Each structure stands twice: as C-alpha cells, then as structure tokens.
Amino acid sequence: MVKVRDVMTPNPVTVRVDSPVSEAAGLLRKHHIGGLPVMDGERVAGIVTETDIISLLDVGDLSEDLWLPSPLEVIEVPVREFINWEKTKRALTDIGSMEVRRVMSSPVVSIDEDSDIADAASLMLREGIARLPVLRDGRLVGIVTRADIVRGLGESTEEES
C-alpha cells in the first residue's frame, strides 16, 4: 500500500501564528497553493486556507452604504459614490494586518507519515478538509492534499498493471 510519505510534499511552506493575514495571502499566491500549516514554534497550531481568508472579505456591514441608482442617476453620480470607499479600504487594511491565529482553522487535523493514503483519504472525507499536515514524531515533515492522494492511487495502479 502507498504511504503518505510517498505522496506528500516535504518541507511545506508555513506561516507563524503571529504573522499578518497579508503575509499568508502572499505565500498562498506566490507558491500557488490553497492552504498553509500555521506554526506556533515547532508545533502545528492550525491551517489557514484561501477560504479562511476570502471569508474575511464578507463585509456585510457595507451593504448599508450600497446604493442602487436608477439608470438616469448612474449618469449623474460618480461611481465612487456607490460604496463608501474609505470604509472599504479601512476594512481591507484591518484584514491584512490581522494575525493569522484569528482566522486559522484549529485544532488541526494531521496524519503520520507512515499512514496509508487510504487512511488519509478517509480522514479528509470525514473531516471535510482538503489537506493534512504530515507529522513524524509530532513534528511537521510535509503536507498531503487530495490531489496527492489521487496521484498516489494512480501510481499504485500503474505499478500493479
């Protein structure tokens, strides 16, 4: 059976619990990944994902400032009046400077590197998650995603043929 260590990404990109959300977002973009383990020293404290960050942009309180003009008013009123831009910019700045610990998913669900990928798949499905930090003796050594597991299944099928 294929083991998690065989398909995981070793030495994953991480972020600290006290890092700003803007740093986490930059790392996700730079490395083209959907989530990062969040570290508190040597301990995996959580996971921060694109979904966690995007959910911060749900600025529902801005709806009171939203004005839907008639077609004639659209011509007369500058676009900048539709939304209170100062309030929006302030909210985005606040989000970017917020510590990752405030938005990460915790407690973290992880798996040992010696586990079978079937166990990892089962855990992901049961918990409704897309990635798992991979541990060796309680220390982070990798990350495994759903795509890694599918790739591992494909490789094991090819080897059996």
pLDDT of 105 reads: 94
Question: Do 143 and 93 share a domain, yes or no?
Answer: no
pLDDT of 154 reads: 80
The residue out of 97, 125, 150 marking a domain boundary is 97
Question: Do 47 and 126 share a domain, yes or no?
Answer: yes
Report the Cα–Cα distance between both ends of the chain, in Å, rounded. Answer: 15
Question: Do 75 and 22 share a domain, yes or no?
Answer: no
Confidence (pTM):
0.76
Task: Give me the CATH number covering residue 136.
Answer: 3.10.580.10
Question: Do 144 and 105 share a domain, yes or no?
Answer: yes
pLDDT of 56 reads: 82
The residue out of 70, 97, 124 marking a domain boundary is 97
Query: Number of folded domains in the chain?
Result: 2
Question: Do 91 and 103 share a domain, yes or no?
Answer: no
Question: Do 9 and 64 share a domain, yes or no?
Answer: no
Domain, as residue range, for 34: 4-55+98-160
* CA trace torsion 49, 52, 55, 56 (10° rounding): -110
- Pairs from 13-20 (Cβ < 8 Å, separation ≥ 24): 14/38, 14/39, 14/140, 15/39, 15/48, 15/100, 16/40, 16/100, 17/45, 17/46, 17/99, 17/100, 17/101, 17/104, 18/99, 18/100, 18/101, 19/99, 19/100, 20/96, 20/97, 20/98, 20/99, 20/100
Question: Do 120 and 43 share a domain, yes or no?
Answer: yes
pLDDT of 155 reads: 72
Question: Do 154 and 142 share a domain, yes or no?
Answer: yes
Tens-digit pLDDT string for the chain (161 aa): 899 999 999 999 999 999 999 999 999 999 999 999 999 999 999 999 999 988 887 655 544 554 555 555 555 555 545 555 556 666 666 777 889 999 999 999 999 999 999 999 999 999 999 999 999 999 999 999 999 999 998 876 556 55
Question: Do 87 and 15 share a domain, yes or no?
Answer: no
Question: Do 10 and 67 share a domain, yes or no?
Answer: no
